[in-house]
Structure 1
Amino acid sequence: MDKLLYLTHTRPDISFSVSYLSQFLSKPNDKHFEGAKRILRYIKGSISVGIFMPTVSDFKLKGYTDSDWAGCLDSRKSVFAYCFYLDNSLISWKSKKQQVVARSSAEVEYREMALGACEAQWLIYLMHNL
């Protein structure tokens, strides 16, 4: 599983699947093993997929956030995600289950927008230093 987690740094398309499977590392069963094999088959069939970084850039940062209220069917916790692009190149992304069960969809949206804003602020700070 460690190698799959490492691979998510360059393959954001498998991030959600790998993070979902990693929840069950302490007590895996046959369904989880089948899920891991399915991810490996997908990777084998899509070797050429990856992150494209062009040589010319206008340094325009764009960010998107999204969440789903009580999206995890196992724990009823919400799952949130964000991604940031530098022009058309994906430079930062995250998909994670929230720590607490939210009472409303507005609470979930507020939490994920706050986390997305923190990431945007950090990226702007990083770009100024570079």
Structure 2
Amino acid sequence: MSVPDRLAERLAQEEELLRQAFPNATIDAEALVVALRDHPLPAGWSHADTDVLFAIPANYPAGQPDNICARPDLTLAGGATPGNSQGVQQHAGRSWLQFSYHIDPNDWHPHVDPVQGSNLADYLAGALSRFEEAS
């Protein structure tokens, strides 16, 4: 089994876990991204909701995801640029405002069974904390 086949199999295993935690989330195995539609944002942002995306590394699950993206026109309510934003990036054929979000490598524990180790749903849950306070 080639590495891409192994990765595709892993992503298929994780899709159900992801959908259980985030019904609006999808995995695009071709573009290697996870997308979450219409994530509600708390007060303090320029929009009430945003689509969210993060890239899946080609060496996943050994390699952990890094950074999270939101709609490119997202600002703080007053129009200021959010902290830790890294500018507009292209992913899966769209423009996204990328935010710095990292997991300490010592906290990433993949397992052959995605339920028993670190997985995409866990990463998304942590990454969404970036939007809990507008800053």
* Greater relative CO, 1 or 2 (CA 8 Å, sep 6+): 2
Give me the TM-score of the superposition, normalised by structure 2.
Answer: 0.32
**Would you tell me which structure has more helix in proportion to its own residues?**
1
Give me the TM-score of the superposition, normalised by structure 1.
Answer: 0.33
